[in-house]
Chains A and B, each alone.
Chain A
Amino acid sequence: MTDIATRANRVVAETGGRRRHYGGGPRAGTIVAFLTPFFLPFVLFYLVPVGYAIWQSFLVVRRTGGQYGTSYTTFGGFEQYAQVFQNTEFWSSIGRIGLFGIVQVPVMLLVALSMALLLDTPLLKIKPFFRITAFMPYAVPGVIAAIMWSYLYSPQVSPLVDVLKGIGLQPDFLGPGAVLWSAANVSTWLWTGYNMLIMYSALQSIPQELYEAAKLDGASNWAIAWKVKVPIIAPSIVLTTVFSIIGTLQLYAEPAVLRQISSNISSTYTPNMLAYAVASGNNYQQAAAISVVIAVITFVLSFGFMRLTSKKAGL
């Protein structure tokens, strides 16, 4: 390692003027050869499907000669989109996911941030233990996490329900009012540690002198945490928020699993479940329009949030 480095330095020193010749970089063919192995599948399995979904969303299937006539596909303009926006199931799925996100994302990120800040103080012992237990759920697939929690929710098997009944409560985790929050709990369980570690890693890269300066100015631990640390790691908080927004809008596995044991989750509970249900009914054009709308909402919210926060932070 040092060998290579010293040799490199010598080479650079020796060649001096000739260096500029090599600064031109490799030939175009070589660059293309480096980029193609990624870009070919990226185009085929990312860009083409996006384009195809957009194209499909502008098509409609019509029939000639009534119900039993032959069907044909034709350009329908915004017809599919008009249908999406008139679909009450679409709006209720959006409403549900909106409520879910407005509550779950801030709760999760606040817990994650508090944990990260605590881990960054000398207050705690056995830090590696806390770090690992929090991050462990990240290794658990969403489907499996939902299955695990559904046993903890189910009245027949759950030790939690037993305990709560013991203190006089009548919990119904799968009831119509509670099941959304039961799903939110699964997401929170899965992702708090991941978000915490992103923030914690950012905290670790802040130079210690900064705190000493703040302490000399008489700042309390609270003031240092909220007025020094949090603003510095703001980019990480923005990043975790954007990832959480994307995740919320993609919600599928957790409610789909809970649906297997709760009649209070419909097959169109989240926008993605609705898209899948519509596609299963062979209405691909409508499913494509729903997918495009979900993607656009995701983009608008993610970018909107980044713009908003970067303006506020004066970046």
Chain B
Amino acid sequence: MGADIALAVIGVCFVAPLLWLLLAAVDPQAGYQTKVPSAPSTANFSAVLTPELLFQPLANSLWLSAGTAVVNLLAAVLAAYPLSRYQSRFNKPFMYTVLFGTSLPVTAIMVPVYGLFVQLHLLDSMAATIFFMATTTLPMAIWMTKNFMDSVPLELEEAAWMDGASAMAALRTIVLPLMRPGLGVVFIFVFIQAWGNFFVPFILLLSPGKQPAAVSIFSFFGQHGAVAYGQLAAFSILYSVPVLLLYALVSRGMGNSFALSGAMKG
């Protein structure tokens, strides 16, 4: 009973900062005060439901995140295959180097990355931003993918090799279908990270037409003087829903530990 009460108090503290978001979204007269709207309406939602404000930025987010996840998954699957299937004295050092790479603070490399992008004339390029974002999550993805691949028994491929299938054919027809749930986890994991990423597109993408929702949301935040509180809240909710759903999808299947399986399994 004591534990229940203590836990409930903590839970209330965690929910409190989110109340404003939920209430302001349906309050056309929202400010920074948390109050039950006197005349709740969906006016804020209809105000932001326009091509320039919502759909274009969300489409950009989708394109960036899906692109990042695809590039990431392709590279990670290819890299994980030899690491999982063949014994080599390079495997261990490589895996530990990769693990080491997961701990580089990405905010610290943004200044040099900006410099690199200027030198290579890649600034404001969606494709280059996708490749960069894919690389920042690649170490984690390789690590997770290899762990998932290790759990597919090698015997299944050996039969295919006997029949003359190449390694890549065995990977495509036998290993990948068997680890589909694991691949889904890695894909969604990378997708969620890219979707929520603010700093990288903020630095690397300049034209408003290319900016994802994480960056365009800023136009509600006092850029033109007054803050459109209600619209900011409504937009935040619409922008957050996809990742909340994806997270729920993954955590239901994986018992909440999906995000940790890559980091905590040695």
A, B bound: no
A binding-site residues for B, Cβ under 8 Å: none
Q: What is the interface of chain B, defined by CB distance below 8 A to chain A? A: none
